[in-house]
Amino acid sequence: MSLPDRIRTARHRARLSQYSLAARLGVDRSAVSHWECGHGNLPSSVNLLALAEITGVR
């Protein structure tokens, strides 16, 4: 599974919208969309760690 797929799956399992995840990370919703589609830059290591904590991924 690719990183964009893992991000999307983690968000869905945590029952978060792109908007709510973006708000909790302090980024624009479009950034989350780009990460999930594999367009543009991937999340920084800081955002990846925060994303894992927010979604409960270990």
Which domains does the chain carry?
A: 3-55 (1.10.260.40)
CA atoms within 13 A on the CB side of 54: 21
| Per-residue pLDDT tens over the stretch 1-58 | 899 999 999 999 999 999 999 999 999 999 999 999 998 889 999 999 999 999 999 8
**What pLDDT score was predicted for residue 39?**
87
pTM: 0.90
